[in-house]
A and B are shown apart, each in its own frame.
Chain A
Amino acid sequence: MNDPRLQRIEELALDRALVGLSPSEELELEGLLAATGRALDPEIELAAAALDGALSGRRTALPESLAARLAASAAHLRPPAALTPVKRIGTPAAAHSTALPAWSGWLAAAAAGAVALFAWLGREGAVEPARLRAELLARAATLERAWSEPGPPTGASGDVVWSQDEQTGVMRIAGLAPNDPTVEQYQLWIFDETQEHPVDGGVFDVVAGEILVPIDAKLPVAKPTLFAVTREKPGGVVVSDQKRIVLVAPI
């Protein structure tokens, strides 16, 4: 292994399987994989799982109350096979893809599952963002927070509307600088107190004027604490370095 980048990828993959990675290490791994065109070796994580099975202690049955809750929650889920693609509406970028090409085979399931989550949770497909925003605002539990600029003011404004119950929302943004999608794109992040990394809320572009962007949370959000918009490379990133935050909306 002459390329030191490949050596580092292997180190990070091993650490990831054993003890997990910090956000900066995740970002480093993402960058190395993108730069080298390599994918993570799925057998590393499998080996850790096999060792775990070998070293584990006695198994005991799930508590009855927990098993009942799990069965009940499963009853509300629809199988992935029954999913249909959710139409993207408004201004979100059409070609949204993660920048981590590493997940291969069935180890990609977590990411794939997250992508499918929109439909899994039984959400409707094409709804005009203006109508969706109005419907959400009519509900008492919907959050509405104004955007603010963490850096020097540029005149950008608007708000974010979010329904925790329905795990959906709409961003209203005005005055944000138009972007060239071949150079960079905007990406929404939802900070969740219960998760190590902010949840990807979707990639979008700004042409001009005021825009309404439906929020496309890639994972369930349990306790949102902050919405933030960053500038990222085309297609967005899996984990942002958060160096180019342009808008924030604390909860």
Chain B
Amino acid sequence: MTHSTLPGPSLLQRVARGDASAVQACLDEHGPLVWALARRLCPSSADAEDVVQEIFIALWKSADQYDPALGTESTWVTTVARRKLIDLRRRVARRGPTSELGEEHASAARDQGELAAESDDAERARKAMAELRPEQQRVLELAIVHGMTYDEIARKLALPLGTVKTHARRGLMRVRELLSRGPAARPGGAT
């Protein structure tokens, strides 16, 4: 993740300016991140491929809106991807019983050992997570990593729905506060 710290325009800024070579570089740079997010939260490879295309089209369309001063490219990409993936999961949930595949994929990915994100963003977020109460950590992990809804988390942990919401909201708010105090004074941190 060196692009956003190099002098000159970032990858997304180059895409916005019509630099054709930046499109391929953007796919090379962020493709694995987006693919990992999609495979983790989509019930099938076909769904994952569809949503990855939606995510990249959204990224390219909005490339001129990316401002490196406000966050790293990977955080921006993750934000756009998460929005699409949350929409997808809500659509899938309306069609029928929620699949546990997302959780299985997530567990499998994590069982492979090595955590992918080695940026300052990830390191600072990991430290912030460690400062949370265990129940807040668990709820946030289920919501973010496994893409579970509050109802699903409440059932899984046998907790009242209101308690789950409280843990999730307080936990994320605390992380937000801790990240805002970081060395870069912004939640995205430096890559």
Binding site for B on A (CB under 8 A): 10-11, 14-15, 17-20, 22, 41-63, 66-67, 69-71, 73-75, 77-82, 105-110, 112-114, 116-117, 120, 194-196, 220
- Return chain A residues, CB-CB under 8 Å to B101: none
Q: Are B40 and A14 in contact (CB under 8 A)?
A: no
The one of B27, B70, B114, B168 in contact with A14, judged by C-beta atoms closer than 8 angstroms, is B168
Interface of A is mostly: helix
CB proximity of A82 to chain B, nearest CB, Å: 6
Within 8 A of A (CB), among B103-162: 106, 108-117, 119, 121-126, 128-129, 140-141, 143-145, 148-150
CB proximity of A194 to chain B, nearest CB, Å: 7
In angstroms, Cα B19 to Cα A81, docked, is 11
The one of A14, A15, A78 in contact with B18, judged by C-beta atoms closer than 8 angstroms, is A78
Binding site for A on B (CB under 8 A): 15-18, 20, 23-24, 27, 31-37, 39-40, 49, 52-53, 56-58, 60-67, 70-71, 74-76, 78-80, 82-83, 86-87, 89-91, 94, 106, 108-117, 119, 121-126, 128-129, 140-141, 143-145, 148-150, 165, 168-169, 172-173, 175-176, 179-180, 186-189
Q: Are A106 and B71 in contact (CB under 8 A)?
A: yes
Given pairs A52-B144, A77-B61, A106-B66, 14 additional interface contacts (CB within 8 A)? A43-B180, A48-B144, A50-B121, A51-B144, A55-B110, A56-B37, A60-B39, A79-B18, A80-B16, A105-B70, A108-B65, A110-B62, A110-B80, A120-B61
Interface of B is mostly: helix
Q: Which residue of B lies closest to A108 (CB)?
A: B65
- Return chain A residues, CB-CB under 8 Å to B180: 43
The 3 A-B residue pairs with the shortest CB-CB distance, nearest first, are A57-B109, A109-B62, A109-B65
* Cβ contacts A to B, 23 pairs, < 8 Å: A11-B169, A20-B89, A45-B79, A46-B71, A47-B125, A47-B187, A53-B117, A55-B110, A55-B115, A60-B35, A61-B32, A62-B52, A67-B31, A70-B31, A71-B23, A73-B53, A79-B17, A81-B64, A106-B65, A106-B66, A106-B67, A195-B87, A196-B90
- Return chain B residues, CB-CB under 8 Å to A63: 35, 49
- Return chain A residues, CB-CB under 8 Å to B34: 62
What's the count of A-B pairs with C-beta under 8 Å? 238
The one of B33, B39, B114, B123 in contact with A54, judged by C-beta atoms closer than 8 angstroms, is B123
The one of B17, B40, B74, B83 in contact with A110, judged by C-beta atoms closer than 8 angstroms, is B83
CB proximity of A123 to chain B, nearest CB, Å: 14
CB proximity of A127 to chain B, nearest CB, Å: 22
- Return chain A residues, CB-CB under 8 Å to B57: 73, 77, 220
Contacts A54-B129, A55-B144 given: A109-B60 contact, CB under 8 Å?
A: no
In angstroms, Cα B99 to Cα A82, docked, is 43
Q: Which residue of B lies closest to A11 (CB)?
A: B169
